[in-house]
Amino acid sequence: MKAATPSPSPSEARRALAVPLRPDPAAQREKAVQSLCRAVIATASNAFDQRALPGAVAAQRWPQDADTQALLKAAVGPLMTTSSGVENSISRVTVHFLDAIRTRSAGANLLGQGINLRFGRSAAIAIPMLGDVTADFVREGEPIPVVMPGSAPTPKLTPKKIAVIVVATFELLNCDGAEAMIRAMLADALGPALDRNLLGLQPGDDERPAGLLNGIAPLASSGDLAEDLATLISAVSVIDGEVAIIAAVGQAARINLMPRALPYVVLSSATLPPGVIVALALAGLVSASDGPPQIEAARNSVVHMETDAGPIVGQDGVARTPVMSQFQTDTTAIRLRWPISWALRSPNAIAWMTR
């Protein structure tokens, strides 16, 4: 006689119906940033040894990292997007690239929380301005409201190039902490530059986007920090959604030391002048990029080692100094270029003052 099958216990039944774990967003961001740093290392390693192709270096050092391989394919030529896996890898790294420099950039935090677009094959993207709400209930057969463009000119996003060259030694690229060091170098080089331009007063031109504070008159300070914060937040609250506070380092410290914590994100930026506080409605900020950063490396080169770099020999025939030969110093020059632009969907999305 066949024995009866025992009924599963309650705990066994629960395990049988368990829902698969969802990916941790923080772990996904960290993985994307890690893949970018590995792509930089593999590209730079190729500059030291032309026989060591970047893809082969990555396959040997990180055989399970498909995102790094996808980034390297995108860096050397037109990306074939017929493979959904490759396209997804590129999209992940593009979205999370700003996480690599958030530790040194309030601007990276802001762009990451705003509306993010990709240029794709578009030479320019017209951004709809925020206007009055026109949606409403309508009777049967009655005309439906139409959202009309405002009188303000529609901003257009066109690719602008933020770029930097960092120098690394052979020993650095091959040490155990190379990924962390490359990440720190990118943050040090790109973070302050992004803040200086994003939170600046400069008008836009064919070189760089307009700073978010361009054309925005500062509000008057009352002298009381809590009252000033209420004034700034009220000024941008005409736009629904989350508000971020960005302040110079000293002001950010005072805000964080207030008796009651603010229900808003508070970011500090060393590029803001002392005493400046900015409030931004995140729904009013939109940015567009053109895929992940483009990474190249060269060893047989001479570079002008200045932030405000110029031609090695100017039109006046005078050689620039200081210069460095990568071959002579056993280093490689790593060039990173990233097409990106931004704009406000309404001038009411931002307010600022100096205390």
For the stretch 244-280, pLDDT in tens is: 999 999 999 999 998 888 889 899 999 999 999 999 9
Helix (H, G, I), strand (E, B) or coil at 169: strand
Greater pLDDT, 130 or 339: 339
Per-residue pLDDT at 320:
77
328, pLDDT greater than 90: no
Residues 142, 273: contact at Cβ < 8 Å? no
> What does each C-alpha distance from 168 to 248, 299, 305 come to in angstroms?
31, 10, 13
Phi, psi of 119 (to 5 degrees): -65, -40
Give the per-residue pLDDT at 80.
38
At 49, the pLDDT band (50, 70, 90 cuts) reads confident
In sign, the C-alpha dihedral spanning 297, 303, 309, 310 is negative
Q: Can you give the pLDDT at residue 94?
A: 60
Contact 349, 278 (CB under 8 A): no
- Percentage of the chain beyond pLDDT 90 is 26
Answer yes or no: are the C-beta atoms of 281 and 239 closer than 8 Å.
yes
pLDDT score, position 141: 92
The domain locations on the chain are 25-104, 105-130+152-309+321-355
Reported as type and span, the H/E element at residue 118 is strand 115-118
CA dist 262 → 258, 259, 293 (Å): 8, 9, 35
What is the spatial distance between Cα 343 and Cα 332, in angstroms, rounded to a whole number? 35
Work out the average pLDDT over 108-116. 88
pLDDT number for residue 15? 55
Instruction: Give residue-wise pLDDT tens across range 65-110.
Output: 888 887 787 654 433 334 444 455 555 556 566 776 777 889 988 9
- Asked if residue 222 lies in contact with residue 228, where contact means CB atoms within 8 angstroms, the answer is yes
pLDDT score of 101? 77
Structure tokens at 184: 């720190």
pLDDT for residue 13: 53
Paired tokens of 318: 């005078």
Higher pLDDT, 341 or 321: 341
Give the pLDDT confidence of 195-224 residue by residue, as tens digits.
Answer: 999 999 999 998 999 999 999 999 999 999
Q: What is the pLDDT of residues 221-242, one digit of tens each?
A: 999 999 999 999 999 988 888 9
How far from 321 is each of 102, 167, 314, 349, CA to CA, in Å? 32, 16, 11, 44
Q: Which 3 state secondary structure label does DSSP give 276?
A: strand
Mean pLDDT of all residues in 51-72 = 85
List, for residues 277-327, the tens digit of each pLDDT value. Answer: 999 999 999 998 877 777 888 877 777 777 777 777 777 777 777 777 777
Query: Exposed/middle/buried for 55, CB within 10 Å: 0-12, 13-18, 19+?
Result: middle
**Segment holding 72, helix H or strand E:** helix 66-76
Tens of pLDDT, residues 146-165: 776 555 567 889 889 888 88
Q: How do residues 168-195 score in pLDDT, each as one tens digit?
A: 888 888 888 888 888 888 888 888 889 9
Distance (Å, rounded) from C-alpha 153 to C-alpha 156? 9
Instruction: Please report the pLDDT score of residue 153 as a whole number.
Output: 66
Average pLDDT on 319-337 reads 81
DSSP assignment of 184-228 equals HHHHHHHHHHHHHHHT--PPP-SSSPPPTTTTPPPPPP-S-HHHH
